[in-house]
Chain A
Amino acid sequence: MTLKLTASALAIAAVSATSAAARDNVQVAGSSTVLPYASIVAEAFGENFDFPTPVVESGGSSAGLKRFCEGVGENTIDVANASRAIREKEVKACAENGVTDIIEVRIGYDGIVFASQIDGPAFTAFEPADLYNALAPKVLKDGELVDNPYMMWSDFNADLPSVEIAAFIPGTKHGTREVFEEKVLAVGCEITGAHKAMIDAGMSEDDAEDACIAVRTDGKSVDIDGDYTETLARIDSNAEGIGVFGLAFYENNTDKLKVATMSGVAPSTESISTGEYPVSRPLFFYVKKAHIGVIPGLKEYAEFFVADEIAGPDGPLSEYGLVADPELAETQNMVADEVPMGSNM
C-alpha cells in the first residue's frame, strides 16, 4: 500500500511539473548588484499592474546570462540582469540556442566606493596611483620595477596614515572586480609609469596589461567572494582595513563606514552622473524579444523599469543608490520600439 502511495505521489509530481509550463509571470535572474533594483521595480510593478509580481532571482551576471541563453520558451527566463555588458561569446552562445533578438536596456550607473571603519584612521583621499602602489605585485620604485616593498600606506604617500595595508576587494567572480581592475588598477599602473616600465622591460602589450591588473598575493589584499555584508564584517573587525563597496550599500551603512574620495572627488549620485567620480559602471538588463507578447507583462515590465518615475533622478531606484542615466529618454524609446541589439537605429 505504501508503495502505491509513493508511486502515485511521484506520478502527480511529474504530471503537474509538465503542466506548470504555461506561466503568467515574468521571470528574471542575474546579477546580485542589479537584484535590489530589479526587486524594487518588480514590487512596484506588481502593485500597479494586474500582472502578477515578476519573479526575481540572483546568482551573478554570468550565471544569469547563461540561463538566459539556454533557449526560447516558457521554461527559460525572460530577462537577465547584468552588472556588465553582454560579451561577444555570450551573444554567440545565445544565437546557437535560438536566442537571437536580444534587447539591451541600460538602467543607469552604479558607483564603486572605497570605505573604511568609521572610527579607524583617516583614509579620506585616494588617487588611483595609491591603490595600485598598495595592491600591485610589482611597482615602480626609483625608476625600477621591483616586487612590491610597501607595507604601510604612508610608505608611498605621506598624506595617508601610517598603518599596515589591508584591503578587502571583491573576488574574481564579481562583476565589480572587473570595474575595479579596469578603472583603478589599470589607471594606476599607467599613472605610476609601471606600465611603461613593463613595456620597456620587453613585455608584450597584452602581458603588461595583465600584469597591471594583477593583485599581490602576500596577504595584504584579501579577495571577498561573498557579499558586501561580508566585506563590512571584515572592516568592522579591522580598524585599519579598507574595503570596496557599491555606492548604494555604503549609503545604507553610513553609520559604520567612512568613505574615501578618489582624485579629490567624493562619490555621490551627482558626481558619478557627471563623470567626475571615475569609478563607476553601467548596469543592464537583457530582454528576449521572442518572449514579448507570449509572456504577459514582459514588455510592460521593461517599460516600467526605465520609466521616469522609476529610473529617473527622483525615482525609487535613484533613492536607493542608482545613478540615473542621462540618456534615459533614448532607452525608453528603444524599449517601446523593441529594438534589438545590433540593429542600426
Chain B
Amino acid sequence: MTDATTLDVPEAPRKRSLTTVDSRTQKRNSAEKRFRAYGISAILIGIFFLVVLLGSILFNGVGAFQQTFINVPVYLDPAKLDKNGERNVEDIKKVSTFGYTPLIQNAVFDRVTELGIDTPLDSAKDMKALISASAAAQVRDVVIADPDLIGETVEFRILAASRVDGYLKDRVFREDLARDKNIDAVHLDLTDALREAGVITKTFNTDFIFGADASESRAEQAGLGVSMLGSFFMMLVVLILSLPIGVAASIYLEEFAPQNRFTDLIEVNISNLAAVPSIVFGILGLAVFIQFAHLPQSAPLVGGLVLTLMTLPTIIISTRASLKAVPPSIRDAALGVGASKMQSVFHHVLPLAMPGILTGTIIGLAQALGETAPLLLIGMVGYIATNYPDGLASGFLDPNSAMPAQIYEWAKRADPAYYERAWGGIIILLVFLLTMNIIAIILRRRFERRW
C-alpha cells in the first residue's frame, strides 16, 4: 500500500512558466508549423499543376478560335458553269466542285496580278496550295441557290488552306518546308504580301464552334457544332431518364421503404455502382442496347442510355443526402396537422430538398458530358460527324459524335492543324463544364436552407 501512495505523489512539481517556452511546447509548436508548411506546399503544388494545365490548354488551343480567310471576287464564268445558258438548276448541278476549283484559282491569281505582287508563281494552278478544298463547294452552293449570279463577279470569303493558316499562327515554319510537299516558301512570301494587301485576313472563327466536322484533308473547315448537338441530345436523354428515376428511387428508399436487409443491400449496391468505372457501363450498353435490343449504333439515344446508367447512382446519392438534410420536425409537423405521408413528402420535404437535388443532377450531367470511355464501345468515336441532324427523331437516332469523342478523334488525325483543334475543343468543353458547375454552386448558395 505504501508503494502506491509514493507513486501517486509527484516527486517535485516541474516549474512552468507562460513566458518561457519549455522544450515540449517548442516541439509541439514546431510540429504544427511543419504541418502548416506541408499544407501550404501541397496547395502550391496543386495550384502549380492547375496553372500549367490551363496554361498549356490555352496556349495550344486558342489558335483554333482564329481562322485565315481569303477575300476574293470570283467571276462565275457562264461558259464553265452553265453551258446551255438556260440557268436550269438541274444543268448547273451537273457541274461538280471540280469544275469550280479553276474559277477560284483564277480569281486568286487575278487578284495577285492586279495587286502587282512580285512572285515566281506564274499560273493560276499554283494558287492551289493557298486555298482550302472547301472553297469550291462554298461557291457551288451559292450558285445553285441563285443561278442568276452566273456571269457576274461575286465577292467571296473563302477559307485558306490549313498550312497557310498554320503559317499565320506560327505553327508552320519556313525551315520545315523543304520536305513538305503541300506548300513552298514562295507561297508563304505570297501569303505575307496578300496579308499586307488585306486579301488574307485572320478573324474569329465561329465555324469552329458551330460548324460540322470535316474530312482529314480539310482541317481548316472542321468544327465542333454537330458533336455539340450530339452531346446535347445525349444530355437530354440522361436528364429525361435519370432525374425522374433517380428522384423516385431515392424518395422511396428514404421516406417509404422499410429498413431491412433487402433495402440495406440495395443501398450498398447503389454506393458501389457510383464507383464502377464508366467503361463497364459501355460494355453493358454494347451488349444490351446494341446487340440485344438492336438500337442503332453511334446514336445519341444509346449514348444517353449508357450515360444514364452512369449518372443514376450519383443522382440517387445526392438526392438522398438532401432529403436526409431536411429535419424530421418538418415531416412531424405536416403529419401532425393531418397530412398523409405522401402529402408530407411532396408538399414539404421535396420542395425543401429541391436545390440539393438539382445541384446533384447538374453535377451528374457535367460528369456525363465529359465522359468518353463508354462512348468508345458504342461506336461514337471514329466516326466523322459531318451531318447536322434534321429534326428531333434524327437527333436521337442518327449516328453522331459527342464533344469529348470528337476531341479524341481530332487528336488522332495526321494533320497537325487537327491537334490544335483538339485543344480548342477542350477549351469549349471546359467552358461548358465550368458553366454547369457555376450554375450548381449558384443554386446551392441561393436556395439551399441550412437547418
List chain A positions with a Cβ less than 8 A from chain B: 2-3, 5-6, 9, 13-14, 16-17, 20, 25, 32, 35-36, 39-40, 42-44, 46-48, 50, 52-53, 55-59, 75, 227-229, 248-249, 251-255, 259, 309, 316, 319-320
Contact = CB atoms under 8 A, between A and B. Distances in A.
15 contacts: A9-B241, A13-B295, A39-B215, A43-B386, A46-B386, A53-B386, A55-B399, A56-B384, A57-B298, A227-B412, A229-B411, A251-B181, A255-B416, A309-B98, A320-B216
Interface in B97-140: 97-98, 133, 136-137, 140
B353 to A, nearest CB: 15
A253 B396 CA distance: 37
A40 B216 CA distance: 7
Contacts, number: 123
Chain A, interface SS category: helix
B294 A39 contact: no
Contacts of B396: 13, 16
B192 interface: no
A36 B397 contact: no
B85 interface: no
Interface string B238-273: 001100110110000000000000000000000000
A319 B172 CA distance: 19
A246 B416 CA distance: 15
Contact of A229 (B98, B240, B298, B412): B412
B214 A43 contact: yes
A249 B414 contact: yes
B137 A47 contact: yes
A36 B214 CA distance: 10
Contact of A42 (B136, B215, B297, B412): B215
A320 B412 CA distance: 16
Interface string B400-423: 000000000001111110000000
A251 B176 CA distance: 12
A64 to B, nearest CB: 11
B425 to A, nearest CB: 15
Nearest to B163: A252
A2 B252 CA distance: 12
Contacts of B297: 57
Contact of A13 (B137, B294, B298, B301): B301
Given A6-B244, A57-B298, A316 B217 contact: yes
Contact of A2 (B97, B214, B244): B244
A27 B173 CA distance: 39
B240 A9 contact: yes
B97 A48 contact: yes
B97 A47 contact: yes
Nearest to B181: A251
B215 A36 contact: yes
A331 B396 CA distance: 38
Contact of A57 (B136, B140, B179, B382): B382
A52 B296 CA distance: 18
Nearest to A228: B414
A227 B137 CA distance: 31
A112 to B, nearest CB: 14
Contact of B397 (A20, A40, A259): A20
B101 to A, nearest CB: 10
B180 A254 contact: yes
A16 B414 contact: no
A2 B245 contact: yes
Contacts of A255: 172-173, 176, 180, 416
B387 interface: yes
Contacts of A43: 214-215, 218, 386
Nearest to B304: A13
B424 interface: no
B383 interface: yes
A47 B140 contact: yes
Nearest to A1: B244
A120 to B, nearest CB: 15
Nearest to B219: A252
B415 A44 contact: no
Contact of B241 (A6, A36, A44, A227): A6
A25 B398 CA distance: 10
B393 interface: yes
A250 B412 CA distance: 14
Nearest to A257: B179
B303 interface: no
A98 to B, nearest CB: 17
B96 A48 contact: yes
Given A39-B216, A43-B214, 20 more contacts: A6-B245, A16-B396, A17-B301, A20-B393, A20-B397, A32-B382, A35-B384, A42-B384, A47-B136, A48-B140, A50-B93, A55-B387, A59-B379, A229-B413, A251-B182, A252-B416, A253-B416, A254-B179, A254-B181, A319-B217
Contact of B387 (A3, A53, A59): A53
Contacts of A248: 414
Contacts of A47: 97, 136-137, 140-141
A309 B214 contact: no
Given A40-B216, A47-B140, A251-B181, A56 B397 contact: no
Nearest to A43: B215
Of A43, A46, A309, most B-chain CB atoms within 10 Å: A43
Interface string B274-318: 000000000000000000011111100100000000000000000
Contacts of B217: 36, 40, 316, 319-320
A307 B55 CA distance: 47
A3 B244 CA distance: 8
B96 A309 contact: yes
B383 A55 contact: yes
Contacts of A3: 244, 248
B133 A316 contact: yes
Nearest to B245: A6
A53 to B, nearest CB: 5
